[in-house]
Every structure is written in C-alpha cells, then in structure tokens.
C-alpha cells in the first residue's frame, strides 16, 4: 500500500542537516577527538547548554551515525573522527559551514529563484560573478569546502581513469589544487598546473607546499572566461566541477579554448555530477542543478549526452563516459584531440 512516508522524509530533511551543522558549529566532534567520551552532563557544562538540549543533540547525532553510545556516554563514530575533527587532513567542516552560512537561508527563497531565474546568494548587479573576491572570509571558506570534497573525488577519478599516459595536466579552474595534488600523488610521473584567479592561486600555493609537491604542481593566475586563450603545451586538460556553473554557450566557449590549448592527441577530462541522458536523476545531480539556480546566473547540471554533443562540436573524437562514485562527481566524460 502506498503511504506518504517518503514525503515525510523529504519534509524533514532539513532537520538532519541543521542538527549536523549545529554540532559542527559547537565543535562537538573536535572536543571528543581521539576516543574521548562525552556525557550529557559534561556536554551541558562545556557547551553552555541546558540538560535537555544537550541530551537531544547527542542522541540525534548518534541517530545520524556521527556519534556512538557507550556505557559512559558518547564518542565519535569512525566517520566523525576521520572527517569532522578540526585540524585533520580531510576535515569536512568547511563544507558544512559553507552550506549552513552561505546557502541554507537563500534556499528558503527557492520559489523566488524559480520565478526570477536569478541567483539568491549574490547580486549580479553588484558583482561580476559568484567567485569575485569581495568577501575574502567567505571565499576562503568556499575553497576549503571544495578542497575537502575534491580530494576524495580526485581519488575516485584516479581509479576510474588511467593517467599514466599523460605527462602534463592543466587543471582549469582548479581552485586550491585538490585534484592536481591527489592525481600527482597517485601518478608520480605526472606534472600539473592549476589555473585560477590570483586570490585562489594563493590558497593553492599553500596547499601544494603543505603536500610537499612544490615543483610537481604549480599554480598560474588566469581567468578561463576572460582570457582569450589558455596556456598551451599540455596533453591533458581537466575541468572538474566547473561546467555546471555556466550556461551552454559559455561552456562551448570554454571547451573551444581547451581544444586549442591541448597538444594533438591530448585528452579533455570533464568530471561532474552527471545527469542520466533523459535528465531524470540521479537526485544528487538534479538537486545540484537546483543549487546552481540559487548560486549562479546560468549554471545547471548536464547529462553525459549533452557533454558528448558539445565535445563533438568542439572537434574532439573518441568521446566516452566513465562512471564512478565520489562526493563531488559520479562520472567523467573524455574526448581526444585528433
């Protein structure tokens, strides 16, 4: 018998997120790192909470798989210990904070975005794009959020596609360098260049140095939209989670620049949350498209078929799609420059 139970899950989805975000804001998981146990009484004292909300928060976090109940109280689950303890290499808190502070409230006005077809997190009349550096603190949080997601997506990509045949990779719009860093770790003969805006390259330089890959990965300032051409001499060009930010004409312009920049025989690599060819899912790709309505002027998530068509028009051949599972992408579309 059909029931409205699935609808209830949709209605209450924000309960999980806001519980999660509140725990990250409090520093809960960092406080009990290393196997420490936290009681309701201690949580109440340390976080300045009354006993009832402290009890409810710990219980809810346990229900979400973020905490584990012990005889003496609560401790981090393996998931929380690995990704929610500040200072750890793959800290995911930046992603949580960015969504909580930047996109959560604008999403409350999603109806407005549907009616106006205009972004809600920034004003196109006041800024050139969502990536302009008028709010350094928020942009730093954004790139940190992207880095934590991209590291694991890059690992999945490295397993799905063999980069051993490439020597020089241009990471277009590569942000803080997560993909270049991780791919060069997995493929020691690979050298990579991150191309991004100057204030982003400064962050990439720090991440590259911290990874011990100075000389293997570098960051070059550039604007892949405004610059007439991309740097040349690369046998692979990567566009990771880039094209969903832009409309079709802009994407075709970007792909034409990538084609020109590639050496003959080189490969373009488009890593994205791909919609299926009839654009009915999967949900993570379709809902990311809705988020593009909130955050961009023309962005949307596209299907593999759409990318394959654009690549063909740009002159690429041997076009194919590979699927994988990762936090930031579910597949890659490849094309070769004749």
List domains and CATH numbers for the chain: 5-88 (1.10.10.10), 95-336 (3.40.50.150)
Share of the chain above pLDDT 70, in %: 97
The tokens for 252 are 């075709």
Cross-strand pairs, 272: 331
Query: How many Cα atoms occupy the beta-carbon half-sphere of 67 within 13 Å?
Result: 29
Q: In this structure, are residues 221 and 201 in contact, taking their beta carbons and an 8 Å threshold?
A: yes
Residues 225-253, mean pLDDT to the nearest whole number = 97
- Sequence-ordered list of residues with C-beta below 8 angstroms from that of 295, at least 6 positions apart, any chain: 103, 119, 120, 121, 122, 130
Length of the chain measured in residues: 338
Per the listing, tokens 């020089």 go with 168
- Round to whole Å and give the CA distance between 111 and 120: 11
Dihedral, 29, 34, 35, 38 alpha carbons, nearest 10: -40
**Active-site annotation, residues:** 244
Tens of pLDDT, residue by residue over 99-149, are 999 999 999 999 999 999 999 998 888 877 766 656 677 777 777 778 888
Query: pTM value?
Result: 0.93
The tokens for 58 are 């710990």
- Round to whole Å and give the CA distance between 111 and 14: 17
- Sequence-ordered list of residues with C-beta below 8 angstroms from that of 164, at least 6 positions apart, any chain: 187, 189
Looking at residue 145, its pLDDT comes to 77
- Round to whole Å and give the CA distance between 322 and 334: 8
């Amino acid at each position: 018998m059909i029931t409205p139970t699935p609808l209830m899950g949709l209605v209450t989805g924000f309960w999980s997120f806001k519980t999660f975000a509140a725990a990250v804001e409090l520093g809960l998981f960092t406080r009990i790192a290393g196997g420490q146990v936290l009681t309701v009484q201690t949580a109440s004292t340390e976080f300045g909470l009354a006993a009832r909300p402290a009890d409810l928060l710990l219980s809810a976090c346990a229900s979400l798989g973020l905490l584990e109940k012990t005889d003496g109280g609560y401790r981090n689950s393996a998931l929380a210990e690995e990704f929610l303890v500040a200072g750890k290499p793959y800290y995911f808190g930046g992603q949580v904070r960015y969504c909580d502070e930047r996109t959560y409230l604008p999403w409350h006005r999603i109806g407005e975005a549907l009616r106006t077809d205009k972004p809600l997190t920034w004003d196109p009349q006041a800024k050139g794009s969502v990536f302009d550096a008028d709010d350094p603190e928020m942009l730093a949080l954004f790139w940190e959020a992207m880095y934590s997601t991209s590291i694991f997506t890059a690992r999945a990509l490295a397993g799905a596609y063999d980069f051993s045949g490439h020597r020089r990779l241009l990471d277009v719009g590569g942000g803080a360098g997560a993909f270049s860093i991780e791919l060069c770790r997995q493929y020691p003969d690979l050298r990579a260049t991150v191309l991004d805006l100057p204030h982003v390259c400064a962050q990439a330089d720090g991440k590259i140095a911290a990874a011990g890959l100075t000389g293997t990965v570098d960051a070059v300032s550039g604007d892949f939209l405004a610059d007439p051409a991309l740097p040349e001499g690369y046998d692979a060009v990567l566009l990771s989670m880039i094209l969903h930010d832009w409309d079709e004409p802009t994407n075709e312009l970007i792909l034409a620049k990538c084609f020109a920049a590639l050496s003959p025989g080189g490969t373009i690599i488009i890593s994205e949350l791909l919609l299926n060819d009839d654009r009915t899912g999967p949900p993570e790709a379709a809902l990311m498209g809705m988020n593009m309505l909130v955050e961009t002027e023309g962005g949307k998530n596209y299907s593999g078929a759409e990318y394959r068509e654009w690549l063909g028009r740009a002159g690429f051949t041997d076009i194919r799609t590979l699927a994988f599972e990762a936090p930031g992408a579910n597949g890659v579309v490849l094309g070769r420059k004749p």
